[in-house]
Amino acid sequence: MIEFGQVLIVLFAFIWVVIASNQVAKFFQKIKFPLITGFLLSGILIGPYGLDLIHIDSIGKLDFINYTSLAFIAFAAGAELYLKEIRNSIKSIIWNTFGQLVVTFILGSLSMYYIADIVPFMQGMSHESKIAVSILTGTIFVARSPSSAIAVINEMRAKGPFTKTAISVTVIKDVLVILLFTICLSIASILIHGTDFHLDFIAYLIFELVLTFILGFILAKIIEGLLAVPVSDYIKAIFILILGFGVYEFSHFLRDNTFSFLPFELLIEPLLVCIIASFWITNYSKMRLDFHKIIGDAGPLVYAAFFTLTGATLSIDILINTWTIALIIFFIRLITMIIGAFIGSTLAKDPKIHKRIGWMPYVTQAGVGLALVFEVVEVFPDWGGQFATIIIAVIVLNQLIGPPLFKWAIKLVGESHLPSKSSDRTNKTALIFGLEHQSLSLAKELQHDHYTVEIASVERRKNIQHIADIKIHFLEGLSVKCLNAINIKKFETIILMLSDDENYKVCELIYEHIGTKMIIVRLFDSIYADKFHELGALVVDPATVISKLIEQFVRSPISASFIFGEDDNKTMVDIKVQDKNLHGIALRNLRLPSDVLILSVKRKGQMLISHGYTRLRKGDIVTMVGSVESLEDLSLQFEE
């Protein structure tokens, strides 16, 4: 009971520290440092080698935070591997994964073995132990950070074959590296403990892997059942974290107790169990979107706790004495990755520039790499602490250097879609005919939605105040010459708010002399509607629109509120499908943000009765509702 009370006291103290760490990390983010680096440095500051706010004796009482966080990191990594999104780039992904996984692992392991004599904790080790440390280090060399990669891609609004290959390889590597680590950990255990290698070991290893996959499937089914329960997402998140911690506890139980009734020690890798469960839910479960939302919402808090605690456990005294070794290992990893990327890109027959810079997206390390380090510490406590300190230093260097390199690579291949500082956020343009209060109000609303708006008028209105940020053209008449004088061809949308006769004249001139445009007409007399329809215009009839809007409010107040813009952060947009990779994908398989809903799909002018199994075609117009930020991200996803 006293021990439990001490744990609670330490836990509450740590929570306050994490809150402070989060604020410090945000400061580092403002000065262009990765958020994770801020957490690590905060942990060092408050740890035993800094202000000693968390004493070294208290850190052991917080092991459950490490285990829970590691399981969550595995859940997050598995959730990023969505098979339907990578099917069209599979050749390049396979060969680049081969280069980054196999080549980097082999070269990294060999390099680590040959520098063993200058690594303090490896000096004096047996030949077998050096091999064990080398293959474990080679495995950690391969680990990457999907969360950091996604953050860079979102920041750069990156899209293209290079970016798609980079994120796909990153996620697949993090899945395969845990499988590779599971095998290497078993081999390392045999080499270090001096157990004779025989054919039975292969059978034991296969049995462990099969059991791991079975446990992962069972865990996936348990989480699916939990997600189906009608309770708050916060409660679901807590139970998912508890399940992750339970996987670690169960693996410890098996390892500690199986040797008494089995001829070998049963090693179940909890990270692999969690990543298999997450992969299954992401690709084969109806609960995919719910699971992703919970992972996304809980992520910042878990990462803050985990990386702060990691910084607090870092042995600064060892790091001071071994920083040169950490620097050497950092450069060794960099060189092996460059070679691996060149081989992978060559085999995939990627463009020449990809061969030169193909290594840049894979430098950053974070969650999975640290998770593997802590696994080594737990299994090999004699030298694991020194191993962890050096490798964590390497990971911090990778975390600092990696994101800028990835950003540079995206710029070099021309896949950044950041808006120009000298231009508007979009190139959407609209021209409004008619100078009155309604047209000015409409212009302001369109400008709020990032349209470039100009107004054309056939008369000067003294009662209309001049608007500084809206360009107004005063026309001498309604003729082709006058329309060309204001360069009407540059506008995507034309809105006619003149008299019916004037509107028809402009509409006819555009139809006969200018070409196809999106033309919207405000009518005064509905008798003219058919004439405008014949010219391909969209008609807004004030005589009926008010009653229809009131009817919409009665039938669906929420949708009507979107039309009127009553929720400033919610809007409706039409997005054209231009990415060939989306051709043929079902709506239910799109990775949509949780705050976005698809309302309709229009194909070749025909509105489809869409449902989850409706498959997109290139050129479709998809109407969506959601937050402004999410819809802007989706517009990039749908672009070519």
Residue 367 has pLDDT above 70, yes or no: no
Handedness of CA 615, 616, 620, 624 (dihedral sign): positive
User: Which of 49-58, 85-94, 142-151, 220-229 is most confident?
Assistant: 220-229
pLDDT digits (tens, 9 = 90+) for 228-254: 888 888 888 889 989 988 888 888 788
Whether residues 272 and 322 share a domain: the answer is yes
- Judged on CB neighbours under 10 Å (0-12, 13-18, 19+), 572 is middle
Helix H, strand E, coil C: the string for 18-81 is: HHHHHHHHHHHHHCCCCHHHHHHHHHHHHCCCCCCCCCHHHHHHHHHHHHHHHHHHHHHHHHCC
**What are the two backbone dihedrals, phi and then psi, of residue 433, each rounded to the nearest 5 degrees?**
-90, 120
| Of residues 431, 369, 363, the one with CA closest to residue 152 | 363
Token reading at 593: 């943000």
Whether residues 448 and 384 share a domain: the answer is no
Whether residues 438 and 381 share a domain: the answer is no
What is the rounded distance in angstroms from the CA atom of residue 149 to the CA atom of residue 398?
12
Kindly state whether residue 270 falls inside one of the protein's structural domains.
yes
Q: How many CA atoms lie within 13 A of 619 on its CB side?
A: 4
CA distances from 52 to 44, 47, 282, 395 (A): 9, 5, 42, 24
Whether residues 363 and 404 share a domain: the answer is yes
Q: Which residue stretches of 435-523 are H helix? A: 437-448, 480-485, 500-509
| Number of residues that this document lists for the chain | 640
Whether residues 172 and 247 share a domain: the answer is yes
Kindly state whether residue 421 falls inside one of the protein's structural domains.
no
What is the rounded distance in angstroms from the CA atom of residue 334 to the CA atom of residue 182?
24
In DSSP terms, 472 is beta-bridged to: 455
Whether residues 476 and 399 share a domain: the answer is no
Place of tokens 């999106």: 518
Kindly state whether residue 505 falls inside one of the protein's structural domains.
yes
Whether residues 100 and 203 share a domain: the answer is yes
Q: How many CA atoms lie within 13 A of 6 on its CB side?
A: 11
- Count of C-beta atoms within a 10 Å radius of residue 389: 23
pLDDT digits (tens, 9 = 90+) for 539-583: 887 767 666 666 655 655 655 555 555 555 667 777 888 777 777
User: What CATH number corresponds to the domain at position 359?
Assistant: 1.20.1530.20
Whether residues 301 and 405 share a domain: the answer is yes
The confidence score (pLDDT) of residue 424 equals 42
Token reading at 114: 């040959």
Place of tokens 């680049």: 96
Helix H, strand E, coil C: the string for 345-373 is: HHHHCCCHHHHHHCCHHHCCCCHHHHHHH
CA distances from 272 to 145, 269, 488, 565 (A): 16, 5, 60, 47
Place of tokens 């009518």: 523
What is the rounded distance in angstroms from the CA atom of residue 107 to the CA atom of residue 34?
28
Kindly state whether residue 443 falls inside one of the protein's structural domains.
yes
User: Which of 18-27, 381-390, 628-637 is most confident?
Assistant: 381-390
What is the rounded distance in angstroms from the CA atom of residue 458 to the CA atom of residue 461?
10
Last residue of a domain, one of 545, 579, 613: 545
Whether residues 113 and 229 share a domain: the answer is yes
The confidence score (pLDDT) of residue 119 equals 84
What is the rounded distance in angstroms from the CA atom of residue 562 to the CA atom of residue 543?
22
User: What CATH number corresponds to the domain at position 433?
Assistant: 3.40.50.720
**What are the two backbone dihedrals, phi and then psi, of residue 621, each rounded to the nearest 5 degrees?**
-105, 115
User: Parallel, antiparallel, or unpaired: how do β-strands 596-603 and 538-540 relate?
Assistant: unpaired
Residue 88 has pLDDT above 70, yes or no: no
Residue 438 has pLDDT above 50, yes or no: yes
Kindly state whether residue 147 falls inside one of the protein's structural domains.
yes
Per-residue pLDDT band for 183 (boundaries 50, 70, 90) equals confident
Place of tokens 């117009």: 621
Kindly state whether residue 417 falls inside one of the protein's structural domains.
no
What is the rounded distance in angstroms from the CA atom of residue 344 to the CA atom of residue 354?
10
User: What CATH number corresponds to the domain at position 634?
Assistant: 3.30.70.1450
Token reading at 145: 């950070």
| Of residues 156, 207, 168, 187, the one with CA closest to residue 82 | 168
The domain in which residue 236 lies consists of 32-39+74-412
Handedness of CA 342, 347, 353, 359 (dihedral sign): negative
Per-residue pLDDT band for 425 (boundaries 50, 70, 90) equals very low
In DSSP terms, 573 is beta-bridged to: 624
Please count the structural domains in the chain: 4
CA distances from 150 to 26, 361, 581, 582, 639 (A): 18, 11, 19, 19, 18
Token reading at 588: 């239910």
Residue 423 has pLDDT above 50, yes or no: no
pLDDT digits (tens, 9 = 90+) for 186-218: 888 888 776 655 656 677 777 878 888 899 999
* Residues of the chain above pLDDT 90, percent: 3
Per-residue pLDDT band for 325 (boundaries 50, 70, 90) equals confident
Kindly state whether residue 63 falls inside one of the protein's structural domains.
no
Per-residue pLDDT band for 100 (boundaries 50, 70, 90) equals confident
The confidence score (pLDDT) of residue 1 equals 44
> Lowest mean pLDDT: which of 26-30, 209-213, 387-391?
26-30
What is the rounded distance in angstroms from the CA atom of residue 58 to the CA atom of residue 110?
38
| Of residues 213, 229, 186, 242, the one with CA closest to residue 78 | 213
59 vs 474, higher pLDDT = 474
The confidence score (pLDDT) of residue 221 equals 92
What is the rounded distance in angstroms from the CA atom of residue 197 to the CA atom of residue 405?
43
**What are the two backbone dihedrals, phi and then psi, of residue 474, each rounded to the nearest 5 degrees?**
-105, 110
pLDDT digits (tens, 9 = 90+) for 344-366: 888 888 888 888 888 888 888 76
Whether residues 276 and 151 share a domain: the answer is yes
Coil, helix or strand at residue 229: coil
In DSSP terms, 571 is beta-bridged to: 626
The confidence score (pLDDT) of residue 34 equals 61
What is the rounded distance in angstroms from the CA atom of residue 367 to the CA atom of residue 457?
60
Per-residue pLDDT band for 620 (boundaries 50, 70, 90) equals confident
User: Which of 12-26, 37-51, 468-482 is most confident?
Assistant: 468-482
For the chain, give me the number of helices (H) and strands (E)?
24, 10
CA distances from 630 to 222, 282, 614 (A): 30, 20, 22
pLDDT digits (tens, 9 = 90+) for 263-304: 666 777 787 888 889 889 988 888 888 888 888 788 778 877
First to last CA, the chain: 62
Q: Which helix (H) or strand (E) holds 522?
A: strand 518-522
Distance of CA 459 to the CA centre of its chain: 52
Q: Which long-range contacts (CB under 8 A, 24 or more apart) does 110-114 make?
A: 110/134, 110/138, 111/332, 111/336, 112/137, 112/138, 112/329, 112/332
Q: Which amino acid is at 445?
A: E
Place of tokens 């555009």: 510
Kindly state whether residue 68 falls inside one of the protein's structural domains.
no
Residue 158 has pLDDT above 50, yes or no: yes
The confidence score (pLDDT) of residue 388 equals 85
Whether pTM exceeds 0.85: no
What is the mean pLDDT of the segment spanning 397-411? 82
pLDDT digits (tens, 9 = 90+) for 449-476: 778 888 888 876 555 555 667 888 888 8
Whether residues 268 and 154 share a domain: the answer is yes
3-state DSSP: the chain helix, strand, coil percent, rounded to 5?
Answer: 65, 10, 25
Distance of CA 242 to the CA centre of its chain: 24
- Judged on CB neighbours under 10 Å (0-12, 13-18, 19+), 510 is buried
CA distances from 67 to 70, 371, 526 (A): 5, 9, 69
The confidence score (pLDDT) of residue 2 equals 45
How does DSSP classify residue 498?
Answer: S
Whether residues 368 and 450 share a domain: the answer is no
Token reading at 165: 């290959």
Mean pLDDT of the chain: 78
